Amino acid sequence: MWLISIPMILWVLVFCYIPMYGIIIAFMNYIPGKPMFSSDWVGFLHFKTFFHSPDFWHVIRNTLAISGLGIVFGFTAPIILALLLNELRGRIFKRFVQTVSYLPHFISWVVVASILFATLGNEGFMNDILLRLGFIDKPISFLGEGKYFWGVLTTTNVWKDVGWATIIYLSAIAGVDSELYDAGKVDGLGRFGMVWHIILPSIRPTIVLLFILGIGGILNAGFEQQLLIGNSQTREYYEVIDTYAYKYGIQLGNYSYGAAIGFLKGIISLLLVLAANRISKKALDTSIL
């Protein structure tokens, strides 16, 4: 088995671990074009700069809020949808619904942003309807006011990925032993009872695994969607760690600053995964390590 794994282990080593030495520039004043090790060593300067940045708190707040909403809605929605799909009896209808629910996953964010502008813009479809029905007397700036941004983004994220994310749950549900259902029937369980007492406990390891991995990605609050849907009016609500690192690190040529922010994000994510894993191990006796 180890022999078979060697190529993959080498691949991971070469492409995932060796490049990590570059993280050292987070502690240097790296200037593009100069050899990395001739750059000045500055210790934690870039981390301090980030902590003292006027944007620090709202960047962290936005990242946690958008990710938190993603976990609450984006994590639960596929489970619910998978359970509902599992209850569909007509094979053709079930496949049709599944296919339709996957489709948004394949639409690029550029197209999604265009759809959003056409729907929720000041002169979009939604405002048009609300104005015509007399519910409002002037357009609501759904995409121009920060207070709507998290909601719009979470809804869009859920819409785009809910179908795709059900695949893994549907396969987990398909793996539930049919004898359990028979036993449930004998015990007089109805459809909700089956879901609650048989399906959910059976797919619990899958749910926990995906939850722990999801916690690790809690600081991945998005990138393209923020840049495409966000604008100067909503900046205080859309700027997240990744967009900030891109703008101030890559675009300004401050690679060290960008690397420091990325490194910080990686450390926090790792700690979150370890914490979630520990909690899960204690509470549910299920873990990934």
CB of 63 to other proteins, least distance (A): 17
Q: Which CB sits closer to other proteins, 153 or 210?
A: 153
Q: Of the candidates 166, 143, 141, 11, which has an alpha carbon nearest to the alpha carbon of residue 77?
A: 166
Query: Per rule CB under 8 A, is residue 141 in the interface with other proteins?
Result: yes
How far is the CA of 103 from the CAs of 80, 111, 155, 164, in angstroms? 18, 13, 16, 8
Candidate residues 122, 136, 147, 190; the one interacting with other proteins per rule CB under 8 A: 122
Q: DSSP letters of 152-186? A: HHHHHHHHHHHHHHHHHHHHHHHTS-HHHHHHHHH
Task: State the Rg of the chain over Cα.
Answer: 23
Q: Which CB sits closer to other proteins, 48 or 204?
A: 48
Candidate residues 142, 149, 255, 263; the one interacting with other proteins per rule CB under 8 A: 255
Quick check: helix, strand or coil at residue 136? Answer: coil
CA 227 – CA 239 distance, rounded (Å): 9
CB of 242 to other proteins, least distance (A): 15
Query: Per rule CB under 8 A, is residue 190 in the interface with other proteins?
Result: no
Question: Quick one: which segment of 10-18, 187-195, 225-233, 275-283 binds other proteins (CB under 8 A)?
Answer: 225-233
- Asked if 42 and 253 count as a contact pair (C-beta separation under 8 A), the reply is no
Query: Per rule CB under 8 A, is residue 266 in the interface with other proteins?
Result: no
Q: Of the candidates 113, 49, 23, which has an alpha carbon nearest to the alpha carbon of residue 244?
A: 49
Angle at the Cα of 71 (from 227 to 58), degrees rounded to 5? 45
Which is it for the CA torsion 67, 72, 78, 81, positive or negative? negative
Number of residues assigned to the chain:
289
Q: Residues 232-251: x/- map of binding to other proteins (CB under 8 A)?
A: xx-xx----------xx-xx
CB of 230 to other proteins, least distance (A): 10
How far is the CA of 44 from the CAs of 29, 54, 269, 289, in angstroms? 11, 18, 19, 31
CB of 251 to other proteins, least distance (A): 6
Q: Which CB sits closer to other proteins, 139 or 262?
A: 139
- Asked if 143 and 120 count as a contact pair (C-beta separation under 8 A), the reply is yes
CB of 231 to other proteins, least distance (A): 5
Q: Which CB sits closer to other proteins, 27 or 257?
A: 257
Q: Which CB sits closer to other proteins, 148 or 248?
A: 248
Both tokens of residue 55? 């944007």
CB of 117 to other proteins, least distance (A): 9
Site size with other proteins, rule: CB under 8 A = 31
Site for other proteins in 29-88 (CB under 8 A): 29, 31-34, 49, 53-55
CA 87 – CA 97 distance, rounded (Å): 12
Q: Which CB sits closer to other proteins, 61 or 247?
A: 247
Point out which residues bind other proteins (CB under 8 A).
29, 31-34, 49, 53-55, 121-123, 138-139, 141, 143-144, 231-233, 235-236, 247-248, 250-255, 257
